[in-house]
Amino acid sequence: MTPVELSRTVLRAMRRAVDDGELSGLDDLDDVGTAGRVLVERPRPGGCGDYATNVALQVARAAGRSPLQVAEVLSPRLAREPGIAAIDITGPGFLNITLDQSGDKSGKSGSASAGFVRDVLTRGVSYGHVEATGEARQLRFPREVRAAVLADSLRRILVSQGVLARLTCDEAPDPGWGSLGVHLDAQAEPTAQTETLRPVPAPQDPTPLGRDAARWALLYPAAHDRPRIGDEHEHLVQRAANPLFRVRYAHSRTRALTRNAAALGFAAAPGETHDGGEAQALLDALADHPRVLAAAARHRAPDRLARHLVTTADAFLAFKPAVLPLGDEKPSAAHRARLALAEAAGTVLAGGLSLLGISAPEYL
């Protein structure tokens, strides 16, 4: 496990602790200085193991706990991670990490990664969904376009997590919402399971952006943040600075790889990719998808899913150059395994976009 992979592992453990309610006050880790990464380095004097991190000290104030308490929350979670043999807490809350050198806990590589990729491909866009729980929710919202789109996406996400959800508006719905893919249920009296959604309203009509860009502009920011609607260049331009474009472009590239591989005479087959950090980063993103869906449903936050799709797309785009043979290179088992991983990424991106009510084109 490289320091970059270990950093992602620690950050993932923190996110799961937040989602499970063990670390309150850390809903957005970027706001407490992590910037999407955790610093891991060789232990300093007094430390032990292969690597150490001071992340517990870094987030303790925002979590409302002592660094030692934060470290004690993270320690058992990290100890269960593949590739980690032991966790020791030293000083005021430093986490000292000993890596497993036996090869028995090598993460999602070899047969483990093959089985995981095969499972994603088998489940298709339903990967991360759960069976019906019997729980029901009624989502009510004011007559405002962002609230309508947020409620519509939440209904899709809740259904994916086994919750029967229905939508009702406080007033007669706007006919223009249909162009954004919002369809309400028949009006009904509030029930004991009714929730009212009141996100920060859209500053102006988003429909000129078109359905996909409008929904993304309304859903990508957190509900308490003001969405940016007016800059059509920001939401419609096809360049890397546009996160929606990166997600949809990444999906279209996964489909193009399948077509190009067929032209070269080979198809996907889950197996060992024989790759390093890029493949593992993509596997980590795909493995995190069910947790993100559950968190998006629990916190009523489609923005969490949107941000995760950007992370997955970026991981795939970094991995993409290794998928197809180069020059006179002949297709090998590793190429077939990489193609299977790429197709799994496309499956997750398509499923996530569908829950946001956004199309996933095969050609872009």
Higher pLDDT, 249 or 103: 249
The pLDDT of residue 1 is above 80: no
- 303-359 pLDDT, tens digit each: 999 999 999 999 999 999 999 999 889 999 999 999 999 999 999 999 999 999 999
Q: Which of 20, 17, 282, 291 is nearest to 129 (CA)?
A: 291
Q: Which of 204, 206, 163 is nearest to 182 (CA)?
A: 206
Q: Which of 307, 332, 305, 337 is nearest to 319 (CA)?
A: 337
277-287 average pLDDT score: 87
- 105-149 pLDDT, tens digit each: 434 445 557 888 999 999 999 998 988 888 889 999 999 999 999
Go through 333-358 and write b for each residue having 16 or more CB atoms within 10 A of its CB, e for each that does not. Answer: ebbbbbbbbbbbbbbbbbbbbebbbb
Whole-number pLDDT of residue 106: 39
CA–CA separation, 136 vs 144, rounded Å? 24
Whole-number pLDDT of residue 27: 62
- 179-198 pLDDT, tens digit each: 999 988 765 555 558 899 99
pTM over 0.75: no
- 49-89 pLDDT, tens digit each: 888 999 999 888 888 899 999 999 999 999 988 888 889 99
